[in-house]
A and B are shown apart, each in its own frame.
Chain A
């Protein structure tokens, strides 16, 4: 079927169609903003308010889960408790020393491989590419991973978890960047080769800078998913010494749940502290994140 319905009568007056559409848009704008504001309040505002405000209440007040301001502020005490008893500093450190190297390694090795996959014309490389990007859609098998790490003797360690994170996330970056490079003209790389640049130089000086937009999108996806990763962490990391933030949050919430009712005041304080680093980072680069993602790294 053709995209434009052909049975409709053609109106000759282009101008009129244009202006009436524009003016109706202007008339509807306040209504649209009102609808959006209500939606944003219900969808994001209330959950966030509930979270933050109850993290500042004493235990009994927070257990009512109301949206009102605290009658007695316990902000500092609650957060202090989380930092002291919630394994927060250690978990923050663990998260950082896992997430940062993972992202650096995944982005560098992934983009390098993507360049090779995009430019090589060998069938063998195509097969290897397809097997590698399978990891984008297929769920990773966690038990054999545990088994393999046990065999090597790094089961339960941060090193093992870092390696698994790297191995399971590379596919995304390889996939995004290969598509991007394939759509990119080769002239610059050829010119650099003719000028005598080595291939590592070409990668570093020519390819990598051109890849920045797609790598930014890749980084955002990686930060969001690895910082919040809980599934593998609950299989691969043991005890509180190697726990990442989500694991520490879960351990904290589960242990505080033993006491009659949920300690919403403390759980929420931990949730805020766990989410804070990513949210603060987001506030700084927010415009580029949303613009980068909505310009679309996705091409079907």
Chain B
């Protein structure tokens, strides 16, 4: 392999920035020979793909949300707030926002409570814990659809859950997915079930990043296990906590697969989250109103995600 070897001195002499001394040189690290001045060729392929297939559609959506765009005509025309008014008149908009928020709230709480508990149980790295970590990670690998089918079987009136309850209380045939609130809570639970294995690992990473010396010092100070957890570990866990709460909540705002596999929005519209409502508008050929609903998801993510991050971050600084 031939490499062109240039003496370092020549280049530095040619570089006017050298006069500014060491400080300047450090600021320019990565371009010691002027070779590295342009970074954009390395970024362009990824940036082009992301902008083309994420950013541009994202911006276009803001426009499409306010247009008359259907599968029945080639013309896409501006119609202001008419899509949103139509969605309100049909009772879709507020209901689906409410359903989405309740779904995301339930999924987020279950996931974080369960995963935090599991992380505490499985924190130390040893053979037994590695085994259990792998076992609890299994649902993460399943597709949300698969999780939906498995759980709609478990929750069916004659399914294993009701049979187990029946062993204790006698004949039990509650239709978990047939009653409005139970159905919504159940699908949110399935979402939590599918992802908690991953969130558990995030919390384990967070717990293991806390130096043991702090806990040991607290033991010496006479703190019991409960105090050690809430007053030390839980506070220092703030970055992992922020990440998990935000990711699980925002992720659940975009729910679609699990609902599609279990209730498809029913009973009635009790589990019609925004994306399900969006899909049925799309399937009906109403692309404009579908865009409007998709914009609502985006607005919810921004309007709730940003304050949530800000709030949780402040907690991190405190700790």
8 A Cβ contacts from B171-225 to A: 193, 198, 201-202, 204-206, 208-209, 214, 216-223
Chain A residues near B134 (CB-CB < 8 A): 286-287, 290
Chain A residues near B193 (CB-CB < 8 A): 43
Instruction: State A119–B125 Cα separation when bound (angstroms).
Output: 35
At the interface, yes or no: B227 with Cβ under 8 Å from chain A? yes
At the interface, yes or no: B58 with Cβ under 8 Å from chain A? yes
Whether A50 lies near B279 (C-beta < 8 A) is no
Known: A21-B219, A250-B261. A132 touches B158 (CB 8 A): no
> Which interface class (under 10, 10 to 19, 20 to 34, 35 or more) fits A?
35 or more
Known: A3-B232, A144-B64, A230-B260. A51 touches B139 (CB 8 A): no
Instruction: State A245–B145 Cα separation when bound (angstroms).
Output: 11
At the interface, yes or no: B35 with Cβ under 8 Å from chain A? yes
| Binary interface encoding of chain B residues 49-92 relative to chain A, with 1 for a CB under 8 A from any of its CBs, else 0 | 11111111110110010000000000000000000000000000
Chain B residues near A67 (CB-CB < 8 A): 160
Choose one: A9, A112, A137, A267; the contact of B221 (CB below 8 Å).
Answer: A9
| Binary interface encoding of chain B residues 285-319 relative to chain A, with 1 for a CB under 8 A from any of its CBs, else 0 | 00100110011011001100100000000001011
Whether B35 lies near A193 (C-beta < 8 A) is yes
Chain A residues near B295 (CB-CB < 8 A): 141
Chain B residues near A234 (CB-CB < 8 A): 260, 279
CB distance from A191 to the nearest CB of B (A): 10
Choose one: B61, B132, B253; the contact of A141 (CB below 8 Å).
Answer: B61
Chain B residues near A253 (CB-CB < 8 A): 145, 149, 261
At the interface, yes or no: A134 with Cβ under 8 Å from chain B? yes
CB distance from B45 to the nearest CB of A (A): 5
Chain B residues near A246 (CB-CB < 8 A): 143, 145, 257
At the interface, yes or no: B113 with Cβ under 8 Å from chain A? no
**Contact stretch, chosen from A28-36, A77-85, A208-216:** A28-36
Chain B residues near A298 (CB-CB < 8 A): 202, 205-206, 239-240, 243
**Contact stretch, chosen from B13-21, B24-32, B101-109:** B24-32
Whether A120 lies near B39 (C-beta < 8 A) is yes
Choose one: A132, A271, A290; the contact of B150 (CB below 8 Å).
Answer: A271
At the interface, yes or no: A5 with Cβ under 8 Å from chain B? yes
At the interface, yes or no: A66 with Cβ under 8 Å from chain B? yes
Known: A10-B220, A138-B58. A249 touches B158 (CB 8 A): no
At the interface, yes or no: A242 with Cβ under 8 Å from chain B? no
Choose one: B128, B149, B278, B279; the contact of A268 (CB below 8 Å).
Answer: B149
At the interface, yes or no: A100 with Cβ under 8 Å from chain B? no
Whether A51 lies near B150 (C-beta < 8 A) is yes
Residues of A at under 8 Å CB distance from B? 1, 3-5, 8-11, 14, 17-18, 21, 32-33, 35-36, 39-40, 43-44, 46-48, 50-51, 54, 64-67, 109-110, 112-113, 115-117, 119-122, 125, 128, 131-132, 134-135, 137-148, 163-164, 166-168, 170-171, 174, 186, 189-190, 193-197, 199, 203, 224, 227-228, 230-231, 234-235, 245-246, 249-250, 253, 262, 264, 267-268, 271, 274-275, 278-279, 282, 286-287, 289-291, 293-296, 298-300
A selection of 16 A-B contacts at a CB cut-off of 8 Å is: A5-B227, A36-B128, A43-B139, A112-B43, A116-B39, A121-B27, A134-B54, A138-B58, A139-B253, A228-B257, A230-B143, A231-B256, A249-B143, A282-B138, A287-B130, A294-B208
Residues of B at under 8 Å CB distance from A? 3-6, 8, 27-30, 32-33, 35-36, 39-47, 49-58, 60-61, 64, 118, 121-122, 125, 128, 130, 132-146, 149-154, 156, 158-160, 163, 193, 198, 201-202, 204-206, 208-209, 214, 216-223, 227, 231-232, 235-236, 239-240, 242-243, 246, 250, 253-254, 256-257, 260-261, 275, 278-279, 282, 287, 290-291, 294-295, 297-298, 301-302, 305, 316, 318-319
